[in-house]
Amino acid sequence: LKTVLLILLLLPFSSACSSDKLSDLLGQVESLNISRGGYTLGKVLTDSQKATALKHPEEAANPLTFKFRDGDLHVVADKTTDRVVILYERYEAATIKKVQALVGDLTLDFGDPTVMAHDKIIYWAFGPEGKLSEKQYRNDKDVKKKLNILATVKLNSDIKVLEKKDSAQIGDIYFIISSEPVLKLMSP
| Banded model confidence at residue 18, pLDDT cuts 50, 70, 90 | low
Banded pLDDT at 169 (limits 50, 70, 90): confident
User: At a CB cut-off of 8 Å and minimum separation 6, what does 39 contact?
Assistant: 45, 49, 70, 73, 75, 84, 87
* pLDDT tens per residue across span 24-52: 999 999 999 999 999 999 999 999 999 99
- Asked if residue 1 has pLDDT above 90, the reply is no
pLDDT of residue 15: 40
Residues 6 or more apart whose CB falls under 8 angstroms from that of 151 comprise 29, 32, 34, 41, 42, 125, 126, 177, 178, 179, 180
pLDDT of res. 8: 35
Burial class (CB in 10 A: 0-12, 13-18, 19+), 156: middle
Q: Which of 32, 79, 69 is nearest to 186 (CA)?
A: 79
Nearest to 50 by CA among 26, 23, 70: 70
The pLDDT score that the predictor gives to residue 158 is 92
pLDDT of residue 10: 39
- Average pLDDT on 132-151 reads 88
H-only helix segments in 32-146? 47-55, 96-110, 134-142
The confidence score (pLDDT) of residue 144 equals 78
Mean pLDDT of the residues in the chain: 88
Instruction: Give mean pLDDT, residues 162-168.
Output: 78
Residues 6+ apart with CB under 8 A from 80: 19, 64
pLDDT > 60? residue 71: yes
Residues of 161-178 as b/e, b for ≥16 C-beta within 10 angstroms?
bebeeeeeeebebbbbbb
